[in-house]
Structure 1
């Protein structure tokens, strides 16, 4: 019932309780104020120049994936001139750029920074296909190869609601590759009467939406190929008490594909919880591809739970990767 004069959120039931709790609340007041001001700025009616994104990358310019700063600079994002603009842009681009940074040949995830030998094998397979696309001598030859990259985003929510043109930024990072991005999950399409749809964003990029659980609709996508298919689970909550059992049938099917799977977490505790659940439930039948670590392309904006302002999350704060264990024939 009482809005804090510092952050503008209704944080306490009365002015007296706010005053008594002021020292503790001050730990989060600054973050809440920043979040409040960001939301007001987005709805202020000003021209949001920071959302005027660049188009295709020049062939002679190499993208630097060390951080948001180097990425935006080498991709010529000339209108991002403030910390607030950085938060706005990173909030929407964290999904396509995290995918692109993982697949790109100049990825920040290398053997020296968390990628395992098994992870290198999986990424080499995908990058072999990407290299074949780069070596195609013509558009006709590329189409004849019929080996587009298939990127599956499971449990899709916010990432499926983004304006489709934002995923062109992923396409610009791999300009020679044809890509199909599949959003799969019960919340991937907001309308109740539609179960699937397709949007052709460009001649080399299509977005496909499938409403339902992956393990129920898997036959729409099978068979799978580790050279062309990759899975992303953005903040899935694999270890959350309300979601763990529901994810298990999907993880079982994913591990059978032998394709790389990358997942993210809201913060350290969220990621650790998911990793512990994966290890406990599937540790004997999976290999780690990318050790859990911070994601250089996490959103720079904190989101707060409106029912509990002490709870916060950062989209794609951390990232890790795994896949089904490859079994070799053994002689008795």
Structure 2
């Protein structure tokens, strides 16, 4: 297919069935574009809250992304009302279009102005980080996050620390006033925005595994060990930021592993296992301040893009659990 001057692929079929099929076939790519667009929109408009547009969950960006995907697949969209450039994948970078779809064009400017005047309207009792300056449990949590970074670097590499800091900058700023930015190598800085997004989600997942003390793996399962050896035991500071599968075959030989392809399969199985445990923690221990902040960190660190970063994007059951994960403050709401 020919692309426009900015490299966006045209959308050839705007029928409802055509759009639904496009989401089925290329939903991950669509979600990546939307996630990046909404994130950059909020970075450029630091006073704006998506709560004004009824995205009031723990992860409003992911909520907005899923709403936009559903809207694209199911709504009546007239391509004649779109500019020529918007009849392409560029549409998934146009935050104003999607917010106007949500609120109506006349309401967009009004709500945007209102959003700039009002902070995120999360109920105080559900905002685990509220009063961070005064609450010693939250201050202890901040110290624990900072203290975890050196061991996280030892189990991964310097670039992944930078990616984690980049991926959590809004969260850390809004919750704790922690403004440290990530530093990346020159090679990492040259990578595309899509590639950096993948590495950022990978870093946030791996940090959770370290912070939640899931490693060293309590299980002796081959899959858990494969993930730990390749992704959480120190790795070269170059993409894909993991120990090559062929280098750990010997340590997995007792499980009958004979080559890199078997290691790769086990690593992905281990990623699923660890991700389920991270999601379990996102639903647990909600009766203490520390527990609620830990739960919120887990939820905000994970998204559908995490599956892409871990090369398990075809796991539909795990995707469903991620999308619907722990949206409320009560344990009963976790699935």
More helix by share: 2
Q: TM-score, normalised by structure 1?
A: 0.27
Is the strand fraction higher in 1 or 2? Answer: 1
